[in-house]
Amino acid sequence: MMKATKVGTRGYFFSFEDPYFTTLYVINGENRIFICDTFLGPDPMKEVLQFLDKEGVKDKEIIVFNTHYDYDHIWGNQLFENSIILAHELCVKELKEIGEDDLKQFESHKKGDVKLVLPNTDFKEKLLFSDDGVEFYHTPGHTADSSSCYDSVDKVLIVGDNLESPFPYIRILNVPEYTNSLREYLTRDVKIIVSGHDELMNDDGLLRANLDYLENFAPNKIDRTNFTKKHRGIHYNNIKTVGELLMKEGKNAESLAYYKEAATILTETEQTPQIVELKKSIDDILEKLSK
């Protein structure tokens, strides 16, 4: 089921529940229509276009923007093959490497007959459509290619998966770079924040909470006392991901501390057969790293 919400003077927020809560945002600019992210396939994107048509949004040049290379934000690109599809240059690079694999791995999430269509226009730092008051710019965070969109007319900031409730998913080693991107958000005049998997936000509560988490992110620095299952799951993922990335770079001593916390979190988790298996694999890595 698609849900559509009118935002400000020219925005539309779309959300979908299946297979997990995911959003996209449309800016009906003076000269162009900007579509930020394309969800999981051509079928829901057709619905979006039909909705805009019914709303009386006039036919204009369409500019599509992918916030980052994750499949849940790009699979509807194929409906816009003949339009400009914008993304950071790293997004294109990543998709060339893993795009086809994702199509297979997450096949059950496809909405329609999905074909991989890569962004056809890339940028490094930023791209400005000044006559429409819309800016796209690089905000490395959740992933290295993560980028954001700012609508200066309605003061809406679209951040992709750089913000997520309760914690963001860290997939890069450079966490300070991630915190810098979030601090930059705080300097902007923003009324509404749109993130990839949350409801519309009209305050900076989640931004500040995510920033606080990232600034404190280090082995055994974050207090897990009041963690729910969800908090624990995401935090485990983040700790393990950074441990893995450090190990890949040969930084074994640093990596060890992350894996130690990962192991501890697993002992605090309900001991299902899966968790027991996982704990074994972490213990194996710990043993290797300690040598």
Interacting residues toward Zn ion by CB under 5 A: 70, 72, 161, 196
- CB-nearer residue toward Zn ion: 102 or 122: 102
Please, what is the minimum distance in Å from the beta carbon of residue 111 to Zn ion? Answer: 14
Q: What totals of helices (H) and strands (E) does the chain contain, helices first? A: 7, 12
Please, what is the minimum distance in Å from the beta carbon of residue 66 to Zn ion? Answer: 11
- CB-nearer residue toward Zn ion: 32 or 142: 142
- CB-nearer residue toward Zn ion: 72 or 198: 72
Bridge partners (DSSP) listed for residue 147: 138
- Rounded to 5 degrees, what are φ and ψ at 51? -60, -45
Angle at 142 between CA 149 and CA 23, to 5 degrees: 55
The CA distance from 248 to 24, in Å, is 34
Pairing mode of beta strands 22-28, 11-16: antiparallel
- CB-nearer residue toward Zn ion: 66 or 179: 66
Please, what is the minimum distance in Å from the beta carbon of residue 75 to Zn ion? Answer: 11
Tokens of 106: 């997450």
- CB-nearer residue toward Zn ion: 11 or 196: 196
Please, what is the minimum distance in Å from the beta carbon of residue 197 to Zn ion? Answer: 6
Look at phi and psi of residue 8 and say left if phi exceeds 0, alpha if psi is from -120 to 50, else beta: left
Please, what is the minimum distance in Å from the beta carbon of residue 114 to Zn ion? Answer: 16
Please, what is the minimum distance in Å from the beta carbon of residue 33 to Zn ion? Answer: 22
Please, what is the minimum distance in Å from the beta carbon of residue 19 to Zn ion? Answer: 11
- CB-nearer residue toward Zn ion: 74 or 85: 74
What is the end-to-end Cα distance of the chain in Å, rounded? 53
Bridge partners (DSSP) listed for residue 137: 126, 148
Please, what is the minimum distance in Å from the beta carbon of residue 98 to Zn ion? Answer: 14
Residues constituting the chain: 291
- CB-nearer residue toward Zn ion: 72 or 102: 72
- CB-nearer residue toward Zn ion: 118 or 246: 118
Query: Nearest-CA neighbor of 179 among 140, 221, 233?
Result: 140
Strands in the chain per DSSP E? 2-7, 11-16, 22-28, 32-36, 61-65, 84-88, 121-123, 126-129, 134-138, 147-151, 156-158, 192-194
